[in-house]
Amino acid sequence: MPLFNLLGDEEIDSRVDESHESSSLCNDERRSDDVSPIQEPVTPNALYASCGVFSRHRGIVYATLSGILAGMQLGAVGWLRSSISPYEIMFCRGIIFLAAVTSVSWSAGAEYTIADMACYIGFGVFNSVGVLAGYVALQYSHLGNVTAITFNLPIPSTILGFLIFRERITVYDILLFAINLVGIVLVAKPPFLFKIGEDSEDMDEFLGAIIAMIALLCIVGAIIMSRKLSYREHADSALATAVSGMVSILLTSCILLYTQTWDTPSTFLETVAIPSAGTIGFFGNVCLVRALKHESVLTVSVLGTVSVPVSFIISVVLVHDIPDLISVVGAILVCLSTCGCLFKRPP
C-alpha cells in the first residue's frame, strides 16, 4: 500500500459511505421486522464514525498538524545548530522527501499541463528556499523569534492578495497589519531603533530576523502555488513533496560543494535527530498540501501559527534558549494579529 494512502481521503469517504449505508439498511430492517419487538440497536463501527468526523474537518486537522510539525522541525534544527550545518540537514531532508515518488499518481500526472508543472516547480523552489532560510536564521536568532516571524503567514497573504488579485483590504486588515508590524519590530529589535551597538550579539538577532522574513515570503509563495494547484484540481501532495526534495538536494549540494563542509555527527542523538528533522518536515509538507486542498490560504495560515507556541516550548525545554521579555511580547502581538484574521467578516 502506498505511503500516502494509509490515511487517504478517498478511502475514508468510501468507508464512511459504506458505514452510513449499512446503518440505514439495518434501520430499515428493524422497522419492517414485526416478529421481535425488542432488538439491539445497530450503530456504525466507532472507527468509521471517527473517520466521518475527520472527513468533514480534514482541512483543519491537516493544517493544525502542519503547524505542530513545523514547530517541531525547527526545534530539532535549533537543537542541532551548534554542531551540524543547516545545509547538511536540508540535504538529508531532501533525500527523505524523495520517498514520496513511490506514491505519485502517474496516471493523473498524464493530464498535467505545462502550467501545472510550473506550479509544482515553483512550489518546490519556494518551499526549499523558505525552509533553508529558516534553518539559516536559527544560526543567528532565538528559535521562538525565528518561528514567530517565519510562520507569520496571514498578513503577507492578505497583502499579496491585494497586490496580485486586487482583493479588498478593510480598515480591520490595516489594524491587524499595524499590530503585526509592531510585534515584528519587537522581535527583530532593529539596531537603528533600539540603539544596539555593532559588537552586540543583538546584531545577530536582527540579521536572523531579516533572514526569517525572507523565509516567510518564500513560504507564502509556496502556499499560493499549492493553492493554485488545488483550484486547478491537480494538487498531488506526493508529487509536490518529491519535487521539493529534488530542489532541496540540488540547492544544498551546490552550497556544500562550494563551501567544502560536511559535519559528522558526534553523538548518537545527533545522528538520530538529523533524519528525524527531515521525517517531521516530510509529514508536515504532506499535511500542508492536503490542507490547502480543503481550506483557504487564510485558514491554513492562521492554524499554522500553532508552530509558534510549540517552538517556544521546545526552545525552553530542549534548547534552553530563553528569549528576552521584549521578544516574548512581540511574539504575542504577532500571534494576536494572526488569530485576529479568524474574525474577519467575509467579503
CA 77 to CA 25: how far, in whole Å? 53
Separation between Cα atoms, residue 188 and residue 181, nearest integer Å: 10
Q: Read off the pLDDT band of 40 (50, 70, 90).
A: very low
Q: What does each C-alpha distance from 94 to 37, 131, 282, 287 come to in angstroms?
A: 63, 11, 9, 17
Measured distance CA(171)–CA(173) in Å, rounded: 5
Q: Over pLDDT 90: what percentage of the chain? A: 15
Average pLDDT for the chain = 75
Residue 114 has pLDDT above 60, yes or no: yes
Most confident of 42-56, 85-99, 161-175: 85-99
What is the C-alpha to C-alpha distance for residues 341 and 347, in angstroms, rounded to an integer?
A: 13
* pLDDT for 32 beyond 50: no
Give the confidence band of 185 by pLDDT, cuts at 50, 70, 90. confident
Read off the pLDDT band of 26 (50, 70, 90): very low
User: Read out DSSP for 282-295?
Assistant: HHHHHHHHHHTTTS
Which ranges of 81-189 would DSSP assign to H, the alpha helix? 86-97, 106-109, 114-137, 143-150, 154-165, 171-188
Spatial distance between the Cα atoms of 59 and 70, rounded to a whole number of angstroms: 16
Q: What is the pLDDT of residues 129-170, one digit of tens each?
A: 999 999 999 888 878 778 878 887 777 776 776 776 566 667
Count of other CB atoms within 10 angstroms of residue 273: 19
Other C-beta atoms within 10 Å of 90: how many?
25
What is the model's pLDDT at position 232?
72
Q: Is 240 exposed, middle or buried (0-12, 13-18, 19+ CB in 10 A)?
A: buried
Q: Contact, 141 vs 203, CB < 8 A? A: no
Name the residue among 157, 155, 123 with its Cα closest to residue 297: 157
pLDDT in tens, 206-261: 888 889 989 999 998 888 888 788 777 777 888 888 999 999 999 999 999 988 77
| Cα angle: 62, vertex 68, 69; to 5 degrees | 85
pLDDT surpasses 80 at 101: yes
